[in-house]
């Protein structure tokens, strides 16, 4: 774990997540079905459009885009993004489809008239736990925060990941506990890849090269 002042700043995203994890533990332990309507008391047209858009931050396309972008910046960054996405995504999909495949999504338990609905959103019924979008968003933005290593940007990245996770609740695609555990998987997976790969190759010149590096 980080020891120096620079390392502490590098992990700004992690400190914010740790605070969220502690504060958010209690509601994660409550009855998820009874808790869901409480999270959805306030729905506005402007928020509907906002969260319908922000939810795509947890889509797999983000990983592809940033992997390609970082091929032109540094190979180590691109591979860090790829490995973090691969590990976190694999864990979540195995849990979702093989371990907890009998856990259903909110609209399996509620009728459309019971909750504020949003037009244009397909309500899925199965494979609720954990949330893949939440895993993806937290893993991706934590990875980017470690690569870019700017505390202020890391704060912005954290809130983008948080909003992407909350959008899954707002859109009735997941319960709170799904997003809570998904976020945890994303952060822990990224830490594993950071210490197993990225930190080890960070000072090696060949990994700092990119597709734009001059050929010798």
Mean pLDDT for 185-210 is 86
Confidence label for 200 from pLDDT (cuts 50, 70 and 90): confident
Domain boundaries 9-21+42-208, CATH class? mainly alpha
Alpha helices in 151-203 (DSSP H): 151-170, 176-193, 199-201
- Spatial distance between the Cα atoms of 124 and 135, rounded to a whole number of angstroms: 18
On the 0-12 / 13-18 / 19+ scale of CB atoms within 10 A, 98 is exposed
* CA proximity to 138, closest of 20, 9, 49, 33: 20
- Spatial distance between the Cα atoms of 143 and 139, rounded to a whole number of angstroms: 6
pLDDT digits (tens, 9 = 90+) for 129-176: 999 999 999 999 999 999 999 999 999 999 999 999 999 999 999 999
Confidence label for 5 from pLDDT (cuts 50, 70 and 90): low
pLDDT digits (tens, 9 = 90+) for 22-80: 999 999 999 999 999 988 888 887 888 899 999 999 988 888 999 999 999 989 999 99
């Amino acid at each position: 774990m980080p020891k120096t002042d620079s390392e502490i700043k590098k992990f700004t995203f992690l400190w914010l997540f740790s605070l969220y994890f502690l504060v958010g533990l209690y509601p994660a332990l409550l009855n998820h079905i009874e808790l869901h309507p409480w999270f959805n008391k306030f729905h506005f047209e402007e928020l509907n459009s906002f969260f319908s858009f922000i939810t795509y931050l947890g889509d797999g396309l983000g990983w592809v885009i940033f992997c390609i972008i970082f091929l032109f910046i540094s190979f180590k960054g691109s591979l860090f993004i790829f490995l973090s996405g691969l590990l976190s995504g694999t864990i979540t999909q195995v849990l979702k489809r093989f371990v907890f495949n009998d856990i259903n999504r909110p609209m399996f338990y509620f009728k459309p008239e019971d909750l504020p609905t949003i037009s244009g959103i397909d309500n899925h019924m199965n494979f609720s736990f954990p949330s893949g979008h939440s895993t993806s968003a937290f893993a991706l933005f934590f990875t980017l925060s470690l690569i870019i290593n700017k505390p202020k940007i890391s704060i912005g990245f954290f809130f983008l990941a948080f909003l992407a996770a909350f959008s899954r609740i707002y859109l009735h695609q997941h319960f709170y506990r799904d997003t809570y555990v998904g976020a945890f998987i994303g952060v822990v997976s990224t830490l594993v890849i950071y210490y197993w790969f990225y930190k080890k190759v960070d000072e090696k010149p060949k990994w700092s090269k990119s597709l734009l590096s001059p050929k010798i």
